[in-house]
């Protein structure tokens, strides 16, 4: 059948004339392990793909006072966001109360300030936490922040078994790339496994770890290194949980992942496909998982922060769009799209909404969701995936030969690998072998001005006043007693989540609890490996 270029026949009419739905035809896929939803899930976890359910649009947000971030959450929800993602400020990430000397000057600059359960209550005021999933990007103090969220839910009468969400809680990548660690690796792993055990027993809809390649990639790793180091960390968490006595099929379905999406479109899609395949095969063949959900590598994706440029920031809209499309074609379960101004500051309301709209346009206007894995069978993509998988297993063998991830951390292996990759990338940019539009090519003499979000530092005094009020109003004798119980428990082998929940309910602060852990566990000082 021939259709003339100037035909008035619209697309829906064309489908009818063809005798079948175009999309129904495109939906036909091979049976067996080459089909979407079939082991080893290279082509996606679900046979219906996004036709059955779109990915969760989970925009990362947080700045200043809890009330300010609460307002941003509500704005995003009103504009179609389908999941929450909390960014915490640097003092919170390092486990300091807002009035600590080490917190000075950092209030609210990269996320919301949380010092106590009262702050958590303010953060989620009038937000239906039992009906929407919540992700929290927190690592060293993750167990404490999670305890505050759980305590807040219980106080509101929400059954914790019904809470859905994700705790980043990936401490290994902190030692490998991001460096927001506090305690040595071994007690840090103990806290992570405590959360895995607690979630397994009490919170079946919560993901206690989001095993994160994002920060590894942002530190300068290649796509291959991001894939290998992230999965290696995941296997290490599994080993630790198994040593605790947990059953693989009891906790593996609740492990999730967090990946970067960079600019090399097909390489990123291949990375996601290969990661799913390797994870599924390893969980089945090495760890003998029996349930299909245990084999699923479910992942959140975020467009690359390091790929954003301060020069010609409007170009970042194009970058984010391409990266987001790669995440969707790679089969992500949830997605955050960066604002165009994030090379300068936290995203403004305008840029945050625009970034959300990018996801919505992909979802509703492009028709890429109309068929499952539309790039399946691409010769180029299959070749990239084959090469990446073979190279990944060579890397796995190298890590295994040195005794695993923990030995690699102590020896500085991962840091050296990432540093070398970052140096090579910068050389390519400096030599213009790698063109960055607006940076080393196609520069303009004058840069446009864009409205930037400015965090009101006066909010720090408000937050300190709130903290001082809590200290006056709470039962300080009971706080001291709970902190002492926590200290005793930390010295034992007990799971610390129950006592943490009890302690935060008495409004013990983040800093007070972290000081107990610092005393018991000590603080990590990396060896000089360079």
Residue with tokens 């695993």: 404
244-258 b/e (C-beta count within 10 Å ≥ 16 → b)? bebebbbbbbbbbbb
Q: Which residues of the chain have pLDDT under 50?
A: 1-28
β partners of residue 260:
302
**Using CA atoms in the order 32, 33, 38, 41, what is the torsion angle rounded to 10 degrees?**
-160
Half-sphere exposure of 274 (CA within 13 A, CB side): 27
All structural domains of the chain = 53-430 (3.20.20.240)
Cβ atoms of residues 471 and 366 within 8 Å: no
Q: How far apart are CA 227 and CA 389, in angstroms?
A: 10
Cβ atoms of residues 494 and 194 within 8 Å: no
Half-sphere exposure of 72 (CA within 13 A, CB side): 28
pLDDT, tens digit, 9 for 90 and up, residues 447-497: 667 788 887 878 999 999 999 999 999 999 999 999 999 999 999 999 999
The runs of H, that is alpha helices, within 209-261 are 214-218, 223-244, 248-251
E-assigned strand segments in 142-270: 165-167, 206-207, 209-212, 255-261
Cβ atoms of residues 160 and 154 within 8 Å: yes
Cβ atoms of residues 213 and 172 within 8 Å: no
Bin 454: left if φ > 0, else alpha if -120 < ψ < 50, else beta: beta
pLDDT, tens digit, 9 for 90 and up, residues 198-226: 999 999 999 999 999 999 999 999 999 99
Cβ atoms of residues 162 and 204 within 8 Å: no
Q: How far apart are CA 53 and CA 348, in angstroms?
A: 29
Cβ atoms of residues 345 and 316 within 8 Å: no
Alpha carbon distances (Å) from 185 to 51, 140, 173, 363, 409: 42, 10, 11, 41, 9
Closest by CA to 441, choosing from 431, 456, 451, 449, is 431
Cβ atoms of residues 153 and 132 within 8 Å: no
Closest by CA to 110, choosing from 86, 87, 127, 132, is 87
E-assigned strand segments in 427-495: none
| Two tokens, residue 173 | 């990548």
Cβ atoms of residues 303 and 325 within 8 Å: no
Q: Which sign, positive or negative, has the C-alpha torsion 408, 175, 169, 189?
A: positive
Looking at residue 518, its pLDDT comes to: 98
The runs of H, that is alpha helices, within 286-412 are 292-295, 315-329, 349-365, 379-401, 405-411
Closest by CA to 249, choosing from 282, 298, 200, is 200
Q: Which helix (H) or strand (E) holds 188?
A: helix 185-202
Looking at residue 2, its pLDDT comes to: 34
Q: How far apart are CA 449 and CA 472, in angstroms?
A: 46
Helix-, strand-, coil-residue percentages of the chain, each rounded to 5: 55, 10, 40
Cβ atoms of residues 101 and 116 within 8 Å: no
Cβ atoms of residues 437 and 319 within 8 Å: no
| Two tokens, residue 301 | 């994706």
Q: How far apart are CA 381 and CA 267, in angstroms?
A: 8
């Amino acid at each position: 059948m021939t259709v003339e270029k100037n035909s008035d026949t619209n697309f829906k009419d064309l489908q009818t004339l063809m005798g079948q739905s175009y999309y129904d035809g495109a939906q036909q896929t091979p049976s067996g392990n080459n089909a979407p939803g079939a082991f080893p899930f290279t082509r996606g976890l679900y046979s219906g793909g996004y036709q059955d359910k779109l990915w969760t649009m989970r925009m990362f947000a947080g700045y200043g006072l809890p009330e300010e971030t609460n307002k941003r959450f509500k704005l995003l929800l009103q504009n179609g966001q389908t999941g929450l993602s909390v960014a915490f400020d640097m003092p919170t990430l390092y486990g300091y109360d807002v009035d600590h000397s080490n917190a000075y000057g950092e209030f609210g600059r990269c996320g919301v300030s949380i010092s106590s359960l009262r702050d958590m209550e303010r953060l989620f005021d009038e937000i239906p936490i039992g009906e929407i999933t919540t992700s929290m990007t927190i690592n060293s103090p993750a167990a404490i922040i999670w305890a505050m969220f759980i305590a807040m839910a219980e106080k509101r009468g929400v059954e914790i078994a019904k809470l859905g969400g994700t705790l980043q809680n990936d401490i290994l990548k902190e030692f490998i790339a991001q460096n927001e660690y506090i305690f040595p690796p071994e007690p840090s792993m103990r806290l992570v496994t405590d959360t895995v055990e607690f979630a397994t027993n009490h919170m079946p809809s919560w993901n206690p770890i989001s095993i994160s390649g994002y920060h590894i990639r942002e530190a300068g790793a290649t796509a291959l290194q991001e894939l290998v180091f992230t999965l290696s960390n995941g296997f290490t968490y599994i080993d630790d949980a198994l040593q605790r006595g947990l059953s693989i099929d009891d906790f593996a379905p609740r492990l999730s992942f967090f990946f970067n999406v960079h600019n090399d479109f097909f390489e990123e899609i291949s990375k996601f496909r290969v990661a799913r395949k390797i994870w599924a095969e390893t969980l089945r063949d090495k760890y003998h998982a029996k349930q299909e959900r245990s084999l699923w590598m479910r992942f959140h994706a975020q467009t690359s922060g390091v790929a954003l440029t301060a020069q010609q920031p409007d170009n970042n809209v194009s970058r984010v769009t391409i990266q987001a499309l790669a995440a969707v074609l790679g089969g992500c379960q949830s997605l955050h799209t960066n604002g165009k101004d994030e090379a300068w500051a936290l995203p403004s309301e305008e840029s945050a909404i625009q970034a959300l709209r990018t996801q919505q346009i992909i979802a509703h206007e492009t028709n890429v969701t109309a068929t499952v894995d539309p790039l399946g069978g691409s010769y180029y993509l299959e070749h990239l995936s084959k090469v990446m998988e073979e190279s990944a297993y060579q890397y796995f063998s190298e890590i295994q030969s040195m005794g695993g991830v923990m030995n690699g951390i102590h020896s500085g292996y991962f840091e050296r690998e990432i540093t070398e990759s970052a140096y090579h990338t910068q050389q390519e940019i400096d030599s213009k072998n790698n063109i960055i539009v607006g940076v080393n090519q196609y520069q303009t003499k004058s840069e446009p001005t864009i409205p930037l979000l400015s965090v009101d530092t006066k909010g720090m005094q408000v937050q300190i006043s709130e903290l001082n009020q809590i200290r006056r109003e709470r039962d300080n004798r009971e706080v001291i007693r709970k902190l002492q119980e926590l200290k005793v428990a930390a010295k034992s082998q007990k799971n610390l989540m129950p006592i943490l929940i009890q302690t935060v309910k008495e409004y013990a602060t983040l800093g007070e609890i972290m000081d107990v852990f610092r005393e018991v566990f000590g603080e990590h000082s990396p060896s000089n490996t360079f």
